[in-house]
Chain A
């Protein structure tokens, strides 16, 4: 395949999955103002590794793998620069009574996801939101299958507890 064909295919794939990529980065805890820059970083990695992608397999899990690594790297840098980011992040979580209908639910999910450590959150997003089988989740994130199950189990517990906690806060208010 010529380099130009590759580039076009990569660009088309990026365009097709752009909405998914942006949402995935948000789910992985990237701030709205950084999302476009990070999406571009994902594109650059996608372009560089396009030859490794097998077109017979679904693109989303592959893209997720890149997005996860880019987001994790960004997070490490962000935390170094803003040491109290986690504390502020907790206060920024929206209260359920400020949220409305489907938009409310989405904001609530994002806020709850924020409370799950990134490695476990990635497994939960891939499996419970993107509906990727756990075997593929493990392969994409380069972790043993047992670890994937273990992270999923903990992440689900944390998600349940985070949702309950956010809802309780709204009752207290």
Chain B
């Protein structure tokens, strides 16, 4: 098949057996829903972080700045070479007092008071980007709800989800939480409430990858 496309370049075609193998591999199998949802949540999270982290504007390098940078780099290089040369010329037994001191990994006891602290980097992070560690806690919460769901303990699921909503009103996994809520409501036979939650979900996440799953759950409950 492919040999025809490139036959004039003398690339021999694949054998029919290998072509048949490739035909099987060509059909891309869908990933489990949870994997896709996780990836999308992560992608959305990174977009939010990107929006909320404001970097100081970077100035375009001018010829003068380049010159200053080159001069500083040259100076550093020269100093480094000179220091290395000095170290090599020192006889082993007569090291200067500074090098004979034992190496200490402890921080210096105190810096001279006159020395100003290093300036902080100019990255402004808004509160929404700060609680990165809470992401895993939030995930743990949903995992517990998912385990309860696997056991068929839908009441527990709803209770965990309610707590999740209280603790993380603008959580990153709100989308996954609502899907689980619909599932639990369907499991308990509360179809009306499940439909309400589904409608609200549709308004809140009109492009969600999980919408077909919700439709499927509602259809199965009929």
Residues on A facing B (Cβ under 8 Å): 7-8, 11-12, 14-15, 18-20, 22-23, 27, 36, 39-40, 43-44, 47, 102, 105-106, 108-110, 112, 127-129, 131, 133-134, 149, 152-153, 156, 159-160, 163
Contacts and interface: CB of A to CB of B under 8 A. Distances in A.
A109 B29 contact: no
Interface stretch (B42-50, B170-178, B190-198): B42-50
Identify the interface centre among A8, A40, A127, A128: most chain B CB within 10 Å of its CB: A128
Given A8-B207, A106-B24, A149-B6, 9 more contacts: A14-B43, A15-B40, A20-B28, A39-B39, A40-B46, A47-B47, A133-B5, A134-B5, A153-B12
A15 B209 contact: yes
A40 B39 contact: yes
23 contacts: A7-B47, A14-B39, A14-B40, A15-B36, A15-B40, A15-B209, A18-B39, A18-B40, A19-B30, A36-B39, A40-B39, A47-B47, A47-B50, A109-B21, A110-B25, A127-B6, A128-B2, A129-B22, A149-B11, A153-B11, A156-B14, A159-B18, A163-B18
A14 B167 CA distance: 30
Contact of B43 (A20, A23, A40, A102): A40
Contact of A11 (B24, B26, B30, B47): B47
B15 interface: yes
Tell me what chain B mostly uses at the interface: helix, strand, loop, or mixed.
Answer: helix
Contacts of A15: 36, 40, 207, 209
A162 to B, nearest CB: 10
B159 to A, nearest CB: 30
Interface string B16-36: 011011101110111100011
Nearest to A4: B51
Interface of B: 2, 5-6, 9-15, 17-18, 20-22, 24-26, 28-31, 35-36, 38-40, 42-44, 46-47, 50, 207, 209
Contacts, number: 92
B36 A18 contact: yes
Contacts of B13: 156
Contacts of A47: 46-47, 50
B12 to A, nearest CB: 7
Contacts of B17: 163
Given A109-B21, A134-B5, A149-B9, A11 B43 contact: yes
Contacts of A128: 2, 14, 22
Give chain A's interface secondary structure class. helix
A163 B21 contact: yes
Contact of A109 (B5, B12, B22, B31): B22
Contacts of A131: 2, 26
A18 B5 CA distance: 28
A149 B9 CA distance: 7
B46 A106 contact: no
Nearest to A101: B24
A148 B20 CA distance: 23
Given A129-B22, A163-B21, A19 B43 contact: no
A105 B43 contact: no
Q: Which 6 A-B pairs have the closest CB atoms?
A: A105-B24, A109-B25, A153-B11, A149-B9, A105-B21, A23-B28
A136 to B, nearest CB: 11
A94 B105 CA distance: 50
Nearest to B19: A128
Contacts of B44: 11
A74 to B, nearest CB: 17
A14 B6 CA distance: 31
